[in-house]
Structure 1
Amino acid sequence: MNLPRRVVLAGGLATGTTLLASPLAARAEDFDRPFTGFAPPSTVLREGTPASVGLDPAPIETAKAQVISHQTAVPGGHPLYPGHVGLMAHDGVVVATQADGYAVRYRNATDELPEADRVAMRRDTIFDMASVSKLFTSIAVVQLIEERRVELEAAVADYLPEFAASGKESVTIRHLLTHTSGFTSWLPLYSAYPDKASRIAAVMRQPLANPVGTVYLYSDLNLITLGVLVERLRGQSLDEVVASRLTRPLGMVDTGYNPGARGLTDRTAATEFQAVPDRGMVRGEVHDENAWSLDGVAGHAGVFSTADDLAVLSQALLNGGTYRGARVLERKSVSLLITNFNEAFPGDDHGLGFELNQTWYMDALSGPRTAGHTGYTGTSIVIDFASRSFAILLTNRVHPSRSWGSINVARQEWAGGLGRALPISPRGSHVSWETRPEHAANAILSTPLGAASGPGVGSRGARLAFDLIAETEATDVLRVEVTTDGQEWVLVPLDIRHPGDSRAGAEGGELSGTPGERQWTLVRGELPAGSRALRWRYTTDRNTLGRGVSVSRARVVEPGGVLVDSDAAPDTFSASGWSKQLRS
């Protein structure tokens, strides 16, 4: 493993900062007690340990090992990526960093460099952020909205008259920021048009592929257009706007466009070896061909950054738009960034530029107030406002070839490690059980109803009650079941009482697809006469996991007395794929 050199973060975070001597002197806000507002605006990042803010270090250590493992080639294949830099933070404390592997490993599309010629990954390695650049453009647009120079629901053509071509008169700023404009996803601007002016003109006159506002379709053209809008209204190039109004005020000195032109190539991770167009091994200039053909500065791609600089940006957003006294957004603007404007398109939750609640890379941190983005080059940022946490994973996964596949598993592992480190505490002094993060598993928590040789539930039935947290993806299912003969299991109809509202669900005894359910819910059910055993069965697939399921305060009561009490007799429960938790 390559240890990062000692660095001082632009914006004031330094490695080695001494914290309180007691590892439990500070405690994380529990996963089941989410924050509703912003962090104090005075919050400044500092180095610490998971235990110093009440996190469980074990899931974080597991995540570290997992993302390193993907740098080893599978038999007969290749690694997922040559190297990575990762950073996790919670409640203003950087609790984990890791730099490992290589920023430059390959000579061309297939051949590795000799060991002596490779460039090791460092904590301050600069990465091509690819589509994470869209967040910078989006913030620049929201700054214009703050100044009342742009209206969110105004037509784009009000500011860029040429954009009205080909029937786009009704496309609004919001449509572009939320990818509901109707634009096609991509055009080969770099190869189909001869120069920057003609490429921008092609976007302006491009017709819509779908009626405006009718579908969610992620499109680079949306952000290319917004980049042009920012430049037109500011009278500056996009890189100048981002520098003067975002990165420079926040002290993000390593973040910008075209690092090669700024003399930073040696600190930059290589991306792809490109034969068409003939660029060779790309390093120090943007990987995306369209952004490259726009001189490296475009609304959809072109930003380069480091994990530490992105940490400052993340904390500034958690603080409500300010860091170290520099305000780059108003609090209400940050709220807009993480407000879901795409309720009409379930599963494609989107704020202004920021994706929301995407379990496929946010994993156990996912929720309605979790914002982030990924980049084609292998980057990702996940900011969870509910826990005031963020996870940043930067890889050069397209080095040396984009055809080597997806790294979503590593993104899930990194964000999931931080999400699972957040404690879930049973109420009072109660016992709880939590499912382990395992793919393609069938986790079972069971208990007999009375003595093993007893008669089970009497003729008048029994009432079931338990507390539940279920943070699952749609294809991972919790089933509550009983058996009368030990062979056949049937579902128990349930009534779930969610905190703060009157919703009820899981009528058939099944529950799934509940990201963001971070509070204990009260569950009730009626057990049929003759039931001899009760179980909670949680089945996962091979895709994402989410946080999983927690069960506490389980009781079964019949007219003659108590049959099950998880607090009084936790040893009557058998668990496979579940871990018992005790309140500390």
Structure 2
Amino acid sequence: MLEYVSPGSIGMDAAQLQRAYDLATAWTTAEGAEPAIMPAAAIMVGRNGKAVEPKFFGRQGTGKDAPPIRRDALFLIASLTKPITYLGAMILVERGLLGLSDPVTKYIPDFAAHHKENTLVQHLFTHTSGLPDMLENNTELRRQHAPLSKFIDGAIRDTVPKFPAGTDYSYQSMGTLVVAEIVQRISGLSISDFLQKEIFTPLGLKSSALGVRDLNRERLTQLQTPEFAGVEQFGWNSPYWRELGAPWGGMFSTPDDYAVLCQLMLNGGSYGNVRIVSSATVEKMTTNRLNDFPDLPEPIRRTKPWGLGWQLNHPATEGTLGDLLPSAAYGHLGATGTLFWIDPQRQAFCIIFTTMERDRAPWRLVHLSNAVAAAME
């Protein structure tokens, strides 16, 4: 866990940081008979290897009478899972067991179905594979409480590319799932066990896991859920989804644990005495790899840059990590109302975990991010 210090000691304006906290307080406070706009939130910022103690807001559940949020609350962080899944895959790249320039079919022969034989592993890392975000029968599979293997089979055999790989950009959770399956086939471990063995355990992250595993269920926050998702049957709060461990969005964590992962990246792949990946790997993961594809239109490469599984900032779009962040900042957004960014120029990071469905008001996360970024002196 990072050492806690005062904002001023790491070059952050405490009064400006308080503006972010005040916004989170207002949005997590219920008015009258209506529940709060944002049931719960947590904000943690760090710089130069140290951090300001995380602040927690709101309630553990979605109702106005739910108990106050716990200091050790666990959040389902949705697509903030993806960079960690890709980080795991890069461990195999470093060991000479996986090649980014290899066709996916080298590792999964059946992936050739529906003319996907020219898709490279790197296309899966950069959302340029043409795969869909979700399977056509995603809702039905979840309603059936299908195991992860059913989603994997669909991503491999049933997906039809929207465009030839490397010629366009389309956000694709199923590409992340295929990468997770490659990791499973190479390592002989489930993706959940692999991340636990290679990342979480070495770093001492006892409150992070892909799927709830043996984490204390009482610490889990309840989330707002999309209208299509049966809350009891297969929604984000259901036992099924919590236990599935979706590699594209099923990780649980705390601000303190995720801060270690942020600092790992700022340190060039190491934390304390533990090295997870090399500094060369971190550089590749966090610089614009869309420039590697000559057939990708220049406006896409310029305005929606991606590293290897890590999003670079997309200014002036709904997918921005923050309006005040430089282009070199990287991080990710999550559907459960989560956002994090890392600014290598200022050696800083920001983690915002909420339990608000992001699609209801994506701008709220950006506004919180802006208030934090403005605190950096």
> Following TM superposition, by how much is the alpha carbon of 1:329 offset from its aligned partner in structure 2, in angstroms?
0.8
Aligned counterparts of 2:277 and 2:37: Cα–Cα separation in 1 = 37
* SS in structure 2 at match of 1:47: coil
* 2:373 corresponding residue in structure 1: 419
CA distance 1:382–1:417, change in 2 (3 Å): same
The amino acid of 1:125's aligned partner reads A
Aligned pairs for 1:303-342 (under 5 A) are 303-342=251-290
- 1:208 has 2:169 as partner: no
* 1:60 corresponding residue in structure 2: 17
The amino acid of 2:165's aligned partner reads V
CA distance 1:165–1:282, change in 2 (3 Å): closer
The percentage of aligned residue pairs carrying the same residue is: 26
Aligned counterparts of 1:125 and 1:358: Cα–Cα separation in 2 = 30
Aligned pairs for 1:356-395 (under 5 A) are 356-359=312-315, 360-395=319-354
CA distance 1:397–1:366, change in 2 (3 Å): same
CA distance 1:307–1:278, change in 2 (3 Å): closer
CA distance 1:364–1:175, change in 2 (3 Å): same
- 1:191 has 2:147 as partner: no
Task: Kindly provide the CA deviation profile for residues 17-39 of structure 1, in whole angstroms up to 9, marking residues without a partner as x.
Answer: xxxxxxxxxxxxxxxxxxxxxxx
Aligned counterparts of 2:215 and 2:181: Cα–Cα separation in 1 = 26
Aligned counterparts of 1:327 and 1:347: Cα–Cα separation in 2 = 32
* 1:176 corresponding residue in structure 2: 124
Aligned pairs for 1:56-135 (under 5 A) are 56-72=13-29, 79-95=36-52, 97-106=54-63, 112=64, 115=65, 118-135=66-83
* SS in structure 1 at match of 2:42: strand
CA distance 1:349–1:390, change in 2 (3 Å): same
Tell me if structure 2 keeps the 8 A contact 1:286–1:302: no
Aligned counterparts of 1:186 and 1:170: Cα–Cα separation in 2 = 21
Aligned counterparts of 1:204 and 1:48: Cα–Cα separation in 2 = 47
Aligned counterparts of 1:351 and 1:102: Cα–Cα separation in 2 = 35
* 2:187 corresponding residue in structure 1: 234
* 1:566 corresponding residue in structure 2: none
* SS in structure 2 at match of 1:180: coil
Task: Give the structure with the larger strand fraction.
Answer: 1
* SS in structure 2 at match of 1:69: helix
CA distance 1:72–1:146, change in 2 (3 Å): same
Aligned counterparts of 1:252 and 1:128: Cα–Cα separation in 2 = 15
> Following TM superposition, by how much is the alpha carbon of 1:255 offset from its aligned partner in structure 2, in angstroms?
0.1
> Following TM superposition, by how much is the alpha carbon of 1:362 offset from its aligned partner in structure 2, in angstroms?
2.6
TM-score normalised to the size of structure 2?
A: 0.88
Tell me if structure 1 keeps the 8 A contact 2:231–2:237: no
- 1:396 has 2:355 as partner: yes
Structure index of larger Rg: 1
Aligned counterparts of 1:179 and 1:216: Cα–Cα separation in 2 = 6
CA distance 1:243–1:83, change in 2 (3 Å): same
> Following TM superposition, by how much is the alpha carbon of 1:211 offset from its aligned partner in structure 2, in angstroms?
1.7
User: Which of 1 and 2 has higher RCO (CA within 8 Å, sep 6+)?
Assistant: 2
CA distance 1:68–1:237, change in 2 (3 Å): same
* 1:270 corresponding residue in structure 2: 222
* SS in structure 2 at match of 1:66: helix
Tell me if structure 2 keeps the 8 A contact 1:85–1:121: no
> Following TM superposition, by how much is the alpha carbon of 1:282 offset from its aligned partner in structure 2, in angstroms?
5.1
> Following TM superposition, by how much is the alpha carbon of 1:94 offset from its aligned partner in structure 2, in angstroms?
1.1
Tell me if structure 2 keeps the 8 A contact 1:180–1:215: yes
Tell me if structure 2 keeps the 8 A contact 1:391–1:414: no
> Following TM superposition, by how much is the alpha carbon of 1:277 offset from its aligned partner in structure 2, in angstroms?
3.9
The amino acid of 1:315's aligned partner reads Q
Task: Kindly provide the CA deviation profile for residues 454-498 of structure 1, in whole angstroms up to 9, marking residues without a partner as x.
Answer: xxxxxxxxxxxxxxxxxxxxxxxxxxxxxxxxxxxxxxxxxxxxx
CA distance 1:198–1:269, change in 2 (3 Å): closer
* 1:351 corresponding residue in structure 2: 307
- Unaligned residue ranges in structure 1 (runs of 5+): 1-8, 10-44, 107-111, 424-584
Task: Name which of structure 1's ranges 272-281 and 327-336 shifts more when overlaid on structure 2.
Answer: 272-281
1:51 to 8, 11, 17: 8
Aligned counterparts of 2:198 and 2:306: Cα–Cα separation in 1 = 24
